[in-house]
Structure 1
Amino acid sequence: MKVERFRWAPGQPLTRDYIDQFASVSPFYEYNPWEEGSERERAAWLDRDGRPQADRDGLVQALLAYNGKIGNTGANATAHIEALRDRRTLVVAGGQQAGLFTGPLLVLYKAITILVEARQASERLGRTVVPVFWIAGEDHDTDEVNHTYVLTDSLAVQKIKLNAAPDVKTSVSRWSVPREAWDDALDQLERSLMNTEFKAGLMERLRAIAAESDTLSDQFARTLAWLFGEYGLVFVDSDDASLRKLESGMFRPIVARQSELSAALLEAKERLAEAGYAAQVELAPEQAHLFAYERGERLLLHRSGDTFADRKGNVSFTAGELAELAEREPERLSNNVMTRPLMQDYLFPVLSAVLGPSEIAYWGLLRGAFALFGMRMPIVVPRYEFTLLEGTVQKQMGKFGLGFDDVVSRLDEKQDEWLKAQGSLQVEELFAETKAKFAALYDPVVETVSGINPGLRKLSETNRQKIVEQIEFLQTKTADAFRTQHDSALRQWERIRLSVLPLGKPQERVYNPFQYTVKYGDGWLRELIDVPLSRDGCHRIVYF
């Protein structure tokens, strides 16, 4: 496996500057990820007494129980959990929403980044650093996570969907998926994957995981534990009831300091705007940045004076009642995108947080919020980005003289150039010349007949249009015949496009990893984990 760097700039301007010129955005972040001293500075701060943090022994018990439930009971993962009892143990954390059959490739890349960052940080600091994958099971947008995509043999980007929906807007971790929905999704996946020596074993494993899974979060966690548990990756579900009890100590100040939290976030939004960046999260003064569960439904709270309620009035609390809820029933509360990073830092001694491009951008709002609660934002590390280039695609790119930059930046232009070189330009020019000559010959006819009888002008114009339409009809048929003649080559162009930019997006944001596992086994994934990679924010091309 060959791995090559490629400078593929993030779409988020703030993230682009974070990677390329950190000094210009340093006011929005606590530590420079490109300076060696940042890790030691962060570790020293985490060693301080008195910083807000959850009960460490309670955290260990919750992690042991949850990882036991999902089958992540290997020696390395268990040892990492137990290591958290030691106050010198640190954490590299990152996570994602639960997705069907892991969701897109980028989920695996985030897990790999967490593992590598933890391993390297442990070596640099000479102390245990535990890799933790945070499953955002409290999220309730099932339409974002109930599907995945694979590329079929017929060059179709096939959507595999879990055809079920919760009765109410509840968290993914509380949505019980019917058995028939699992079976249907597995059948869809099996039909879409190519037949190889690895397929039967892969499908057997995925069916066994689904059989043990009640929720999408269960299936997601068990699948990732199967893939990464042996490397010591520890998993946590943000909607785990045991974890919620530990979070009470953070929910209480979030409730008590609502106006200050809102002010800190809005001030950060203004400062970003002054620096030329748009905030990646919608913010308003009345947002409470918390959800509450009522009869299973997850409801976003808004603040009006001393009252907290959802938009439809299904639930309402005074500030005192919400504070009491945080104290006595924290499992009825849930974080939003702004308070989740604060809660993660409260639960774990986070040395660094592994984030994707959009996450890095919206974390630019949070430095003041961390400070408000006596915390400091952890080091923000960009997750690894990869594009997998299979051997067949590499050969086809070579055949057409395409570099990776050509594929991601100018593929349509390059394909048009190739078609013209095959003779399509001459055909286009021939028909253009024919239409021009016809117009030159026919225009005098129109004028002549109009002079004889003005009423004939409209008829002659209609006749002209019909003749032009027939010429264009023949031109279309000729173009189709030309494409049929070069159909095999054009399918190769399409395979290149769909391999690298399916649905117009980077491969890692669309395709499910098992479309590669079914072809190559799991060796490619293990190799990626072991490849010596540096923290540099670059995209990487992986040549199979």
Structure 2
Amino acid sequence: MRDLMQTIATCFEQVALFFPSGDPKIQKSFEQRAVYLDSRDYSREILADTLKEYHRNLGANSETLQMIEELRQKETLTVITGQQAGILTGPLYTLYKAMTTIQLAKEQREKLGRPVVPVFWVAGEDHDWQEIRETYLLNSEGKPISCLLPGDGGGESVGHQKVPDWETIEAQLIEMPDSEFRSSVLKQCRQLTEQAENLTHWFALTLQWLVHKWGLIFFDPMIPEFKRLAAPMYEQILKMHADVREALAERTNRWVELGFNPQIQPTGGEVNLFLSVPERRAILYSAESFYLRGQKEPMDLDTLNDLLSQAPEKFSPNVVTRPVIQEYLFPTLAYVPGPGELNYWAQLGGVFAKLGFVMPILFPRLSAVALTASWQKYLKKQGLTLADVNHGLQEQRNRLVREQDTLDIDDHFQRMREQIARGYAELKPLQEVHANVSDWLDRNEAKVKFQLDYLEKKVWQAQRKRCSDVLSRLQQLEDGIVPNHSRQERVLNPFSFVMRYGLSFVDRVAEIPIGDFSEHQILL
């Protein structure tokens, strides 16, 4: 399958059909998008009033509150990103998304000469417990350790889930390395955990603390006023569910024909909305009736619309319609996705058009790998690159173990094998004694060789133990740079570095240039 990020970085025209607001590398795309947004109307006063009240509850600073006030102005635009509400903000790429959004909004504010504010959509409606219940941090030995939420979520949205006792979290962080920042960071985390009303609130409080100086606005779609604002769009989606499915299928087929792997793969009958009863269930359409997944009772459109008017908080979008709800609520100049999101957004252009919108500019988040000073030093000492680490260091392990072999282990065993071969060759004349002697000699020689192979294996195991220091350093490189054999940004939690360096780590993230979509940045 083709690499979408590389395609966007080098030959955007090949995928331009799927990203109708234009190339994110060209400023003209942002200028044209701004003109389009100026032709649309938004419920700015309700948005600002509700966001202001929510952020007072978050304890937001004056810069964030000023950004919210700017939303009241007709000329104000937004740059938005979003993510599920993971433990302690989830993996590093959550922070990278937030910082890309902040930096892009700042950049476009200057270039367009008008207010552009950053917004983080906290996906608290999501009920995929497996996605958010676990995160990984590096312990004092440099190994990834799991931090896990108890329970199974019960199928309800994350925004309905209770925050665990801080002691439950802290007990899993006992192996974190000591540093001058550890105590103060843990104290802050405790305060935020005890303040939080649910997992969505906990996520927003924690990420806000990390990026507080940049004025990021947080959006919780489960707030009742926002649900009421979105209700007309839910009604439209219910009415046009067949058209939405058709538009998604058409664009997906063209995406596959172009050589890309579709992220959204419908199973049939999706209305692309959920209903909470209280567990979150997909609404399906079949045989001219609506159903909830896993239930048999049919509903008609009037029934669903009545429920929507009475209790809009029970409805929520899925992966197909959430971006459209966002477009309905906010003057979205650009959305900041990760690589997977970028792929499924490419399938949605027809859905946007069918519902009367144009998809925003898609500006991929920055991608980075953080390197501690000790990792940098050891990479240099061993003459290794990040590509070497990404491909696995087994070859380097074998080389280092052999370099420290001062006794010529292989030579000793090779000479022993030659001696055994000569010895058994000298016994060949004894075959005249009995017809079975030849077989006995072969089997006996095989046993001796087997034992020698076993001895050689044990000797090399002992040699590796003698080299444990150098091997552990290589393991630390893999655990830190490609933890669990995956990209660092997709596994490690930012608190692996915040506890080591304090908030100066976030300051370093803020210094990474955005807009290089084809390369991993290196954060030293």
State TM-score, norm by structure 2: 0.94
Q: Is the contact made by 2:401 and 2:463 (CA closer than 8 Å) also made in structure 1?
A: no
Number of equivalenced pairs: 522
Corresponding position of 2:474:
493
Gaps of 5+ in 2: none
Closer/same/farther in 2, CA of residues 471 and 371 from structure 1, 3 Å limit: same
The secondary structure found in structure 2 opposite 1:308 is strand
Distance 2:283 2:430 in 1: 78
Report if the CA contact (8 A) 2:192-2:206 is conserved: yes
> Pick from 107, 124, 136: which aligns with 2:123?
136
Q: Quick one: distance in 2 between partners of 1:16 and 1:322?
A: 43
Q: Aligned partners of 1:435, 1:221: CA distance in 2, in Å?
A: 66
Q: Name the Cα RMSD after superposition.
A: 2.3
Change over 3 Å in CA distance of 1:465–1:66 after alignment to 2: farther
Amino acid at match of 1:470: Q
1:519 to 500, 514, 518: 500
Deviation string 1:251-282 (CA, Å, 9 cap, x unpaired) is: 11111111110001111111011111121121
The structure 1 residue matched to 2:208, chosen from 218, 225, 233, is 225
- Alpha-carbon separation, structure 1, partners of 2:96 and 2:415: 54
Task: Give the letter for the 2:513 counterpart.
Answer: L
**2:230–2:329 contact (8 Å) kept in structure 1:** yes
Amino acid at match of 2:73: D
Name the SS of the counterpart of 1:382 in structure 2: coil
Q: Indicate yes or no: 2:33 matched with 1:42.
A: yes
Aligned AA (2:315): L
One-letter identity of the residue aligned with 2:38 = D
* Structure 1 residues 420 and 232, CA gap change in structure 2 (3 angstroms): same
The answer to which of 130-139 and 429-438 deviates more is: 429-438
**Counterpart check, 1:19 vs 2:6:** no
- Give 1:130 deviation, angstroms: 0.7
Mapped pair 1:427 → 2:418: no
Tell which deviates more after alignment, 38-47 or 399-408. Answer: 399-408
Output the CA distance in 2 between the equivalents of 1:492 and 1:291: 49
Aligned to 1:113: 100
Secondary structure of residue in 2 paired with 1:43? helix
Q: Which moved more, 1:224-233 or 1:463-472?
A: 463-472
Query: How is 1:91-130 mapped onto 2 (pairs within 5 angstroms)?
Result: 91-130=78-117
Identity of aligned residues (%): 31
Partner letter of residue 150 of structure 2?
A: N
- The residue aligned with 1:473 is 454
2:302 to 320, 326, 330: 320
In structure 2, C-alpha distance between the alignment counterparts of 1:203 and 1:156, rounded to whole Å: 19
Cα pair distance change 1:474/1:205, threshold 3 Å: same
Q: CA deviation at 1:169?
A: 0.5
Q: Is contact 2:163-2:199 (8 Å) kept?
A: yes
Whether contact under 8 Å (1:67, 1:236) holds in the other structure is no
Q: 257-266 or 12-21, which moves further after superposition?
A: 12-21
> How far is the alpha carbon of 1:460 from its aligned partner?
4.5
Q: Does 2:160 correspond to 1:174?
A: yes
Measure the CA separation in 1 of the matches of 2:411 and 2:239. Answer: 74
1:356 Cα offset (Å): 0.5
SS at match of 1:535: coil
Q: CA deviation at 1:532?
A: 6.3
- Select which of 184, 189, 209 maps to 2:168: 184
Aligned to 2:135: 148
> 2:448, 2:329 → 1: CA distance?
76
Q: Distance in 1 between matches of 2:168 and 2:343?
A: 37
Residue pair 2:512, 2:521 contacting (<8 A) in 1 also: no
Residue number among 198, 201, 208 corresponding to 2:184 in the alignment = 201
Q: Deviations over 1:212-253 (max 9, x none)?
A: 123221211111121223311000112222211111111111
Q: Which moved more, 1:315-324 or 1:254-263?
A: 315-324
How far off its partner does 1:87 sit? 1.3
1:359 to 341, 362, 377: 341
Deviations 1:17-41 (A, max 9, x none): 1233211111111111111200000
Structure 1 CA distance, aligned partners of 2:435 and 2:128? 67
Deviation at 1:456, TM superposition (A): 5.6
Return 514-523 or 257-266, whichever deviates more: 514-523
Residue 438 of structure 1 corresponds to 420
Q: 8 Å contact 1:54–1:347 — kept in the other structure? A: yes
**How far is 1:115 from its partner?**
0.5
For the Cα contact (< 8 Å) 1:164–1:178, is it kept in 2? no
**Cα deviation per residue 1:141-191 (whole Å; 9 max; x = unaligned)?**
11221121111122321101122333x200000112453xx42112212x0
Question: Does 1:80 pair with 2:60?
Answer: no
For 1:239 and 1:439, locate their aligned partners in 2 and report how far apart those are by CA, in whole Å. 78
What residue identity is the alignment partner of 1:289? N
Q: Distance in 2 between matches of 1:66 and 1:174?
A: 16
1:54 touches 1:246 (CA, 8 Å); kept in 2? no
CA contact (8 A) 1:370 1:376 kept: yes
Shift of 1:332: 1.1
Amino acid at match of 1:518: M
Q: Secondary structure at the match of 2:363?
A: strand
What letter corresponds to residue 187 of structure 1 in structure 2? A
What is the CA-CA distance between 1:464 and the residue it aligns to? 3.1
**Stretch of structure 1 that moved more, 437-446 or 302-311:** 437-446
Could you list the runs of 5+ residues in structure 1 that have no partner in the other structure? 1-10
- Picking from 354, 359, 376, the partner of 1:372 is 354
